Every structure is written in C-alpha cells, then in structure tokens.
Amino acid sequence: MAECLTYESPRVIIVLSIEQRNRAFLAWIKECNQYKTDDYMPFFIDNTLLGYIHQTHAALFYSLSDIFTAASFQGVEAITFQPSINTFARRTEAAGQAARHWYQSGAISSWVGEQYDVSGAFKQTPLFTIERAASPLLGIKKYGIHLNGWVQQQGNTFLWVAKRALDKHTFPGKLDHLVAGGHSSGYSIEQTMIKECAEEANIPRSIAQQARPVSMLSYVMDNKHKLQQDHLFIYDLCLDADFVPENTDGEAEEFYLWPVEQVLERVALSRDYKTNCNLVIIDFAIRHGFLKPDEPFYSEICSGLHQSIR
C-alpha cells in the first residue's frame, strides 16, 4: 500500500467539533453559489435559454455585430445570434470566430482546443459548440466528471489526492481529485471518465470501468463576472491497496493517499483544494457515513449540493 502521507508542512492539531466542521462545509456550499441574477443578461436562441452574460461583458458581444445582436427574451434585454446564423454549422463557425477574436484580444486568456456542446439542458440536441475556454463568457450549463479514488484498508478509508501542477492555468498548486475533467463534445459521460482516468492517473480501462456512478452535484457561481452553471457527475472507484497513480498529461505533479478524516479536516480548515472539489468531498463524506443525519446542518448541506439558477 502506498504510504499515507501527511501534509507537506508540519500540521497544527486543531480539534474541531462536528458543528464547527459542518459549518465550514456549509460555508463552502454558500461560496460556490454566490451570484446576482440582475448582473446578467440572458443568452438565447429562438425560445431556448442557453446561458447568462454578465453586463460588463456585453460589449464583447455587441462589438461583433456581424455575429451577435440584442433582442428581447421574456421581456428583458438579451443577446442572441444574428438571424442569418441559424443552423448548427453556422452557429459553431460563428462561435469559433468569436472565440478566436476574444483570445487574440485578451478577453479570454487561454485556449484549450476542446469543444463544448451548448444546449438548453443535458442530453438535449446541441444548438452549436464552442471552444471550452470561451464558454464561461456565455454562462452556459457545463458538465464534467469527478472521480473519488479510494482505498479500504483494515477498516479505514483513504482518499487519493492530486496536487495540480504549478503551471496549470487555473488553480495551480491546488489539491484536486485523483481524476476530474470537463465533458467535451462527442463523448459520453462514461467515455469522458475513462479517458480522464488514463490521462490523469494512468488508470487502465479495465480498472476504470469498475468505477460506479454515484451522484451528481450542481452549483451556480459568479467567477470573475462569468456565471458557472456546473453539473458534476460523480464516480467512486475503490482501488487495490497496491495501486499507485501516475500522471501522464502533466496536470498533476504529486499524489498523496490520506485518511478520509485528514481530507475532511483539510477541507474544513483551509482553502487548499480547488474550489468545487470541496463539494465533491463533502458529498463523499455524506454517502460514506462520515456526515450523519443527526449532525448539525446535515439537511442544509445535502440540499445545498444540488442548486440551479434562481
């Protein structure tokens, strides 16, 4: 079994009451659902609401007047494509032009090279696709997978923890799940999970296929004037004690195997994890009995993990 590593720096032992711990978990849920609807304009096609664009970013769309135009949606000012951009292919091409313009002008600071489907709801026929890095500007619903890699040993539960590479564009050096990734166009959720297992932890397909889909979380968050409407499909994968992950795509620089109690302590006492990972860990704790129904804030925590825009 891989060594159960402690923190990189000496630990300060802080005794948390269950109420204090659960209050900290509830604080993470509230932080991941901070936004003001009035700050945003609807983005739509025909009668289908697709996302929300922050008022401060409206000029980025209006300046591309050959692609986007103002219109009314349910009685409020909104943004849509020009009427002539009216097919999947035309919208995808126009969205690509817009994304490239925003990247070249610095409105978006990275380019992933993956396409995200844009639709009104999961599994609905996409109306177009757009570069992943540009999708936050539109405030569309996005989907991804998180996988809890865990080990059961002598009655104790351990979680694998990844440390993100320092050169990652987002959340460099933060703690992360063993496997996590966005749902790109052309893949099923399970295919995304298996692909990410291979890329991020060198988990063979034969093992990845043993992962169980166990939950789905959702949150709505204003992130630097971009609305994140994120839906996370959660998998649990119980790994053999002798399995040691290896990163193959350079996104993680280290892996640790920690007792789940230590992981929960880290969530409650620090900001060391990538933000949405805190929610997934809290969900793991609920499902595996580390949070119990008679504890303070149990109901609020459970319901808080499943939120949509108000």
Tokens of residue 136, six digits: 């936050």
Interval 194-233: pLDDT, tens: 999 999 999 999 999 999 999 999 999 999 999 999 999 9
Nearest 5°: the CA angle 177, 180, 183 is: 165
Interatomic CA distance for residues 87 and 204, integer angstroms? 39
Residue 212 corresponds to which amino acid? R
Tokens of residue 78, six digits: 């909104």
Looking at residues 53-62, what average pLDDT do you find?
Answer: 98
Looking at residues 246-251, what average pLDDT do you find?
Answer: 90
Residue scoring higher pLDDT (250 or 205): 205
Write down the mean pLDDT value for the chain.
94
Residue 302: CB atoms within 10 Å: 15
Interatomic CA distance for residues 283 and 288, integer angstroms? 9
Cα→Cα distances 233→148, 170, 188, 217, 230, Å:
11, 20, 11, 7, 10
- Residue 135, class by beta-carbon neighbours within 10 Å (0-12 exposed, 13-18 middle, 19+ buried)? buried
Q: In this prediction, what percent of the chain has a pLDDT beyond 90? A: 91
Tokens of residue 246, six digits: 């290896």
Residue 52: CB atoms within 10 Å: 24
Looking at residues 272-281, what average pLDDT do you find?
Answer: 98
Tokens of residue 209, six digits: 């296929």
If you search the block for the tokens 């979680």, which residue do you land on? Answer: 159
Nearest 5°: the CA angle 153, 239, 194 is: 165
Looking at residues 39-57, what average pLDDT do you find?
Answer: 97
Tokens of residue 217, six digits: 């979380």
Split at pLDDT 50, 70, 90, the class of 14 is low
Decide if pLDDT at 84 tops 70. yes
Interval 111-166: pLDDT, tens: 999 999 999 999 999 999 999 999 999 999 999 999 999 999 999 999 999 999 99
The predicted pLDDT at position 4 comes to 34
Please list, in sequence order, all residues whose beta carbon lies within 8 angstroms of the beta carbon of residue 89, skipping any fewer than 6 positions away. none
Residue 262: CB atoms within 10 Å: 18
Are the C-beta atoms of 92 and 100 separated by less than 8 Å? Answer: no
Residue 172 corresponds to which amino acid? P
Interatomic CA distance for residues 24 and 283, integer angstroms? 14
Q: Collapsing DSSP states into helix, strand and coil, what is residue 235?
A: strand
Residue 224: CB atoms within 10 Å: 7
Are the C-beta atoms of 291 and 202 separated by less than 8 Å? Answer: no
The predicted pLDDT at position 310 comes to 77
Domains in the chain, ordered, with CATH?
A: 18-31+142-304 (3.90.79.10), 38-139 (3.30.750.160)
Interatomic CA distance for residues 291 and 301, integer angstroms? 10
If you search the block for the tokens 């350079």, which residue do you land on? Answer: 250
Tokens of residue 24, six digits: 């900290």
Residue scoring higher pLDDT (276 or 249): 276
Residue 47: CB atoms within 10 Å: 8
